[in-house]
Amino acid sequence: MSATKRLRLFDPFRVSTIRTLIGLLASTGMRIGEVLWLKLEDTNLTATPPYLVIRDTKFGKSRNVVLHPTVRDHLRRYLSERARILGAKRVDVFLTNRKGKRLNYSSQRLMFGRLLRSAGIRSTPGHRSPTLHSFRHTFAVRRLTQWHRDRENVQELLPHLSVYLGHIGPASTYWYLTATPELLQTAARSFERQQNQGAESK
C-alpha cells in the first residue's frame, strides 16, 4: 500500500483505484477476475453486515462475500471519489478508470510488478514471484492457521471457508494446508494436542 503512493506517473484516482483493488484482494480472498468484474449494483455497503454479491464466477457459482467494517468504510470513500470523477456518467463496473472503463487484467498485472519492485519485494530462490493471485492464497492460509492456533474445529469450519472463497468443495480449500511450513506446523501441533487429549481420556 505504501508503494502505491510512489507511483508518480499515476493520477490520484488511479492510485485510489489500485489501493482499493489490492485491499479487496487481501481482505476477502476474492479472485482477481471477480474483483475486476464486480458490478456497482452488487456492492451492498448499507447492509448489516456489509457484503458483495459475486455472480456466476468459476464453476458457475454465485455467493455473498461479507466485508469487514473497515473495508466497507474504504469502499464508501472510493465510491465518493468515483462519483466525483465520473460525474453523471453511468458505469456498471465498480472499479473503473477515469473514462469509466473496466480495468484490464494485463495492465493490473504489470502495475503489480512495478509495485513489487518499488516495495523491494522479491521472490526467494526456487519460488515464483508473488502474483495478484497470491493474496487469495495468503487469505486462505492465514484463516486456516488462525483457526488451528485458536484450537477451533477446522474440519467443521472448512466448508464455510470453501463457500466464502467460491471453491467447489472443502478439498479444494484444504489444499492450502500443504502450502506453507507455518501452517503445516500449526496443524501438526493441533493434531498432536488432539491425540494427547484422546489418550488421556482413555
Look-up: residue for cell 472503463?
A: 101
Catalytic residue among 5, 58, 89, 117: 58
67 alpha carbon, distance to own chain's centre? 11
Sequence-distant contacts of 90-97: CB under 8 A, at least 24 apart? 91/40, 92/39, 92/40, 92/41, 93/36, 93/37, 93/38, 93/39, 93/40, 94/38, 94/39, 94/40, 94/42, 94/43, 95/17, 95/20, 95/21, 95/35, 95/36, 95/38, 96/17, 97/14, 97/17
Residue 68 known to be catalytic: no
Catalytic residue among 72, 74, 167, 174: 167
Catalytic residue among 51, 164, 174, 176: 176
Catalytic residue among 133, 149, 160, 189: 133
Instruction: Confirm if 162 and 170 have CB atoms less than 8 A apart.
Output: yes
Catalytic residue among 136, 143, 148, 164: 136
Residue 167 known to be catalytic: yes
Residue 109 known to be catalytic: no
Residue 58 known to be catalytic: yes
Active site residues: 31, 58, 133, 136, 167, 176
